[in-house]
A and B are shown apart, each in its own frame.
Chain A
Amino acid sequence: MNLDVVYHKHDVIVVGAGIAGLYAALKTSGQVDTAVLSKVYPTRSHSGAAQGGCAASLGNVMEDHWEWHMYDTVRGSDFLGDQDAQELLVRDAVPVMYEMEHLGVPFDRTDDGRIAQRPFGGHFGNFGKTPMKRSCYAADRTGHAQLHCLYQQCVKNEVRFYNEFYALSLIMHDGVCQGLVAWDMREGGLHVFHARAVHLATGGYARCWKITSNAMANTGDGLALVMRQGLPLEDMEFVQFHPTGVWQHGMLVSEAARGEGGYLINDKGERFMENYAKAKMELAPRDVVSRAEQTEINEGRGIDGKDCVYIDLRHLGKEKILTRLPQVRELALKFVGRDMITDPIPIQPTAHYSMGGIPVNLDTAVLSGTGKETVPGLFASGECACVSVHGANRLGTNSTLECAVYGRRGGLKMLDYLRQKPSHDELRDDADALAREEVGKLLGTAGKQGVRPVELREEMQATMQQNVAVFRNEEGLKKQVDIAQDLRRRYKDVVLDDGGTYSNSDLIEAIELGNMLDYSYVIARCALERTECRGAHWRIDHEGRDDKNWHKHTMAWLEGDDIRLDYKPVVITRFQPEERKY
């Protein structure tokens, strides 16, 4: 198959145009030639779906300190987060939040004109003891507000965008990243991007589950790019199930609904959180709440015996709902036909956030192994990266924060890196070989007999939902590892309907499926190995957290059909692991 190739040369290429990618590009543009590749138009990025807010210890509404925010983050992560990374996150949160306001983000305001802050699950004062208002918000569309603002700032700064370009492979030579190869999703054809630095900000990967809050674009593409170069992924078994996904659909009912005072109710009308987190109730961290809900459901106390519970906001009153939770109300109206002003809303745990991902150091440089060695020229930030700030479980409002803080820092650190690397490396000869082979093979299957992608995708999503969800056990995980291997084998026989190069979304969906099959296999395997309960990874066949054997990060390499595992220590600076109770 004759695929055209076009060559481009830039200094920095950012892949992904969500909050992390755009902030990185904003910092490098104007200094060096910056290009952003995105498989969707930037404002379509899933950052825009973030609802609840962005945490920072501004102390605008009540006394707050970054040490308290750090403690909450450390404990929220079930002590698996690297505390140097967590400290950086919460300290930088304050100036970064002000900078975002300066850039134009339309935060809600207090009566005295400052950025308004509200309560959120997992965030407290006095080292976990008292209520706290730390989430900076714009109604329940905070991510949307931040995303659009950053995008417009990039347009203002004349950042070059390659919209609807799909990154197919990194170009590596002697362990150094030279750029990447992408596919023009509209016209077709391969594009070689020669760069001095590549920054991956491709977002999350919860699309491999059936019930998920994630956009269809969240297929972990950055992870696949990295895995295929023989580089490791970190902490893949830790995937957060958000407690309040719209029943049967999965999209998010913001944690802000609980922050503003919503109750979780079972079939008996009980506020069941009393039995699981008596002190913090609905404001306990997400993994705790999801487990509580799943237990209620498993023990038959779901609404009408179904696999859902209720979130009840009626007592908040019309005014509060319309001003603080308008989008969430709209969602419930449109997707389950209920008005939260007058009715409770059925919800269930939904695959939401990926704590794990591409291992990076504090400067967002991608790590090549369990040590400090980095991959020259390769960086990553946001949900696709694992610094690790979230450890085994993420607190709400810390993700858009991570994207802002580390995306921004990534931009600044790339500038530092580029000062040491004044010119491009000579591009390797066969830069587009991998990509050409992958695309050529898939396009060549059109019209032939074989496996339809939807068969594999639906089986993956249903079995992941069954075996690698809120509660896990050895039997289910072993089964899933076998299923994953089988699905990957069958993927070799996948056939497309569309064999053309022009505007071929059949091709893109098939490539995304390949990525999902690869990393979901890694997730299942890592989950099988970790024989303890920590954060979002809950092995019901093991009793509690096992710090003696398991206080470490998982590193996984996908090598052909095998997965090689290794482990590395957690960085502890201020807070020793303790019992995690809410």
Chain B
Amino acid sequence: MQRTFKVFRFNPKTDQEPHFDTFTIEVGDSWTVLDGLNAIKWHHDGTLCYRRSCRHGICGSCAMTINGKNDLACEKQLAAIKGTIVVEPLKSFPVVRDLVVGQEDFFDKLRLVKPWLIRREPPPTDKERLQSPQDRRVIDGTWECILCGACTSSCPAYWDNDSFLGPAALLQAFRYVGDTRDEGLDERAGILDSKIGVWRCHTIFNCVEACPKSLNPTDSIVKLRRRLLEQKL
């Protein structure tokens, strides 16, 4: 079976402007967009640039905009797309080349929320810290994040001069703030409560729609707001 791909191309070293290349190729039955990109690169145009690794939706390398929606190329079945398959790099991230985007700002924003366990009391020397299963469940829906960028890229508040931490960084912040072993709300309050923090979210919900792992960054943001307010009162 034949399918047509329109793929965004841009090499800042050689091109004045981006353009789209069209490829019509033979595809297999349960092919994904990534299978298509591989076939194009290996058999037609080896200069095509994109990130990929695991092929099964856990590494987060291949997030891109496919027919207008953010998704992981390795999980998006061609059968689920009608007509021409349009592939573009994630919005609002600077284009390095073709479908590869710069992730520096994304990871810088992540670092600002201190996404590691903050604990003042030293751990027990010869066993684990205890945590009840109920307490452990609190962070379900956050620790599974694969940092693919689909949510942050889809967020209009982030597009606006990227002066917003973005859904992914805030989801990660709640992964720690919500972890009952963590004692770092004070340390993070400054950045979370800041001009670029939780209050910048306008509950647009693009992030929820975009997340290929069905996570809910808006929910994390709301929970963070609650924690910040509780802390003040």
Contacts and interface: CB of A to CB of B under 8 A. Distances in A.
Interface of A: 40-41, 43-46, 48-49, 95, 97-98, 101-104, 106-116, 138-139, 141, 144-145, 148-149, 152-153, 155-156, 186, 215-217, 246, 248-249, 251-252, 327, 330-331, 334-337, 452-454, 496-498, 500, 502-506
Contacts of B51: 40, 44
Among A107, A149, A506: residue with most chain B CB under 10 A: A506
Interface centre among B43, B46, B77, B143 (most CB of A within 10 A): B46
Given A108-B136, A505-B49, A500 B54 contact: no
* Interface core residue of B58, B127, B147 (most chain A CB under 10 Å): B58
Interface stretch (B111-119, B196-204, B220-228): B111-119
A215 B55 contact: yes
Given A113-B131, A337-B30, A506-B41, 18 more contacts: A40-B51, A44-B54, A49-B58, A49-B59, A95-B126, A98-B126, A104-B176, A104-B181, A109-B133, A138-B143, A141-B58, A153-B116, A215-B54, A327-B58, A496-B46, A500-B47, A503-B49, A503-B96
Given A48-B59, A331-B56, A114 B130 contact: yes
B57 A334 contact: yes
Contacts of B194: none
A144 B45 CA distance: 33
A145 B126 CA distance: 22
A330 B46 contact: no
Given A101-B129, A138-B143, A49 B56 contact: yes
A144 B61 contact: no
Q: How many B residues are at the interface, by size bracket?
A: 35 or more
B139 interface: yes
**Interface core residue of A138, A251, A334 (most chain B CB under 10 Å):** A334
Contacts of A500: 11, 13-14, 47
Interface of B: 11, 13-14, 30, 41-43, 45-47, 49-61, 75, 77, 96-97, 100, 103, 107, 111, 114-117, 123-124, 126-133, 135-136, 139, 143-144, 146-147, 176, 179, 181-182
A44 B46 contact: no
Given A43-B146, A48-B54, A497-B46, A106 B30 contact: no
A335 B54 contact: no
Given A46-B59, A454-B42, A503-B11, A98 B111 contact: no
Given A48-B58, A141-B144, A144-B144, A503 B129 contact: no
A104 B11 contact: no
A497 B53 contact: no
A502 B97 contact: yes
Contact of A46 (B41, B54, B115): B54
12 contacts: A41-B103, A104-B179, A109-B135, A114-B127, A114-B130, A144-B146, A148-B143, A152-B115, A155-B115, A246-B56, A453-B46, A497-B47
B53 A216 contact: yes
A98 B127 CA distance: 6
